[in-house]
Amino acid sequence: MRVMVVGASGYVGGVLVKALLDGGAEVVAPVRRPLAWADERLMASVVDLAAPQLWPCWDGVDCLLLCLGASGGRGYRQIDEGLTLSIAAEAHRRGVRRVQVVSSVGASTRAIAPYLRSKGRMEDALIAMGWDSCLIWQPGPLLGRQPPRWSERLQEPLLKVVAAVSGGRRSPYAGVTAQQLAVAMISHWRLGSGGVMRAGSPAILSAADAG
């Protein structure tokens, strides 16, 4: 079984790939540029991310883990929504039937923020593709990124207050680290559960504690 991680050069994806390798998994990682590290169980292919139909690394892929995210500005519609769905559609066409995607707390087509509406559209379109297993992660603020994005600098103090008054670790706005999210993703990948599920910070923290 091979698992494909898209976004391996990013904050969450990089941690996820290393955690998968540490656990003995065989990982495929399509990337725009070579990674700064290598492993005998890692197939890192330099590709055009916008043309997944041309990727040479689909053989044997059992599960798709999508960790793409725009680094700033308004690129989220192109990357978090458009590119994520394009890659997912190609994976599904090639017979991959299990997918996980990193979204965001508050994602909804009815959200006020354009970013969260875009994430909501992505989630709905992904589910509509008809996977055997579709797990959508909706974490609160991602902690520990260095350097943090400007949006994280602005939002983190406010979301910490919101989380504190709405349940602490049981709040959907509780902060999580990339390592905690990676542990949760790997745990559910190994379980192989089916159906559609959305899971937020409480589920991520619970899985990380158990893992």
pLDDT tens per residue, range 105-148: 999 999 998 989 999 999 999 999 999 999 999 999 888 755 55
Q: How far apart are CA 27 and CA 30, in angstroms?
A: 10
Query: Across the strands, what pairs with 136?
Result: 101, 198
Per-residue pLDDT, 150: 42
The tokens for 204 are 């991520």
Site of tokens 């902690």: 143
Question: What count of Cα atoms within 13 Å lies in the side-chain half-sphere of residue 117?
Answer: 7
The torsion defined by the Cα of 144, 175, 182 and 15, in degrees rounded to 10, comes to -10
φ and ψ of 39, to 5 deg: -155, 150
Q: Which is nearest to 155 in space by CA: 106, 206, 82?
A: 106
Q: How far apart are CA 181 and CA 144, in angstroms?
A: 12
Per-residue pLDDT, 152: 47
| Domain extents in the chain | 2-210
Mean pLDDT of the chain: 89
Q: How far apart are CA 32 and CA 35, in angstroms?
A: 9
pLDDT tens per residue, range 57-116: 999 999 999 999 887 666 889 999 999 999 999 999 999 999 999 999 999 999 998 989
pTM of the model: 0.89
Regarding beta strands 42-46 and 142-143, do their DSSP bridges make them parallel or antiparallel, or are they unpaired?
unpaired
Which residues does 189 contact at the CB level (< 8 Å), separation at least 6?
Answer: 3, 63, 65, 98, 100
CATH 3.40.50.720 fits domain 2-210 = yes
Q: Which is nearest to 174 in space by CA: 204, 207, 144, 135?
A: 204
